[in-house]
Amino acid sequence: MLKALSEIIDKAFQRGAAESAPEREHGLQVATAVLLVEVARADYAEALAEQDAIVALLKDNFDLSDEETALLVADAKTEADHAASLQSFTRALHEQLAPEEKHRIVAMLWRVAFADDHLDKYEDHVVRKIAGLLYVSHSDLIRIRNRVSRESERPAVNPRRTVS
């Protein structure tokens, strides 16, 4: 199944194919949805707020209907269950997206991580890992995190510090 998804993403991101605009968009949607699901699952506690954030982000950013969003999330969860690595999802995104588009995806990841009012150290790690695989600089990663944190009215936390 992972091989099939990889082939879909590779086909969707083929350069120069004029008819591939809808396929490219679908590949972007699937890859992004899988990454959002992985962030929500990182702390081993999928909060309803995180699930709601995933649905809202996908629906708003990709202009999807409720039904399309539900199908995309279900597909993403299935693919995430079978994924051995995030690299298959980030490789095509890195190769095909402009830096601004990568930053938009990283912002979406941070929004999911902050959705439950708690930035878990594992969520932080997964977002940082994905940003690295997308070749988003550390300074941009932190700038995006701080912006999303301010928008969420939640303080950016240092995941390495423990609170008593």
* Domain edges within the chain: 2-151
CATH of domain 2-151: 1.10.3680.10
95-126 confidence digits (pLDDT tens): 888 999 999 999 999 999 999 888 889 999 99
Whether the predicted model's global pTM rises above the 0.75 cut: yes
* Residues contacting residue 66 through CB under 8 Å, at least 6 positions apart: 59
Distance CA 127, CA 138 (A): 11
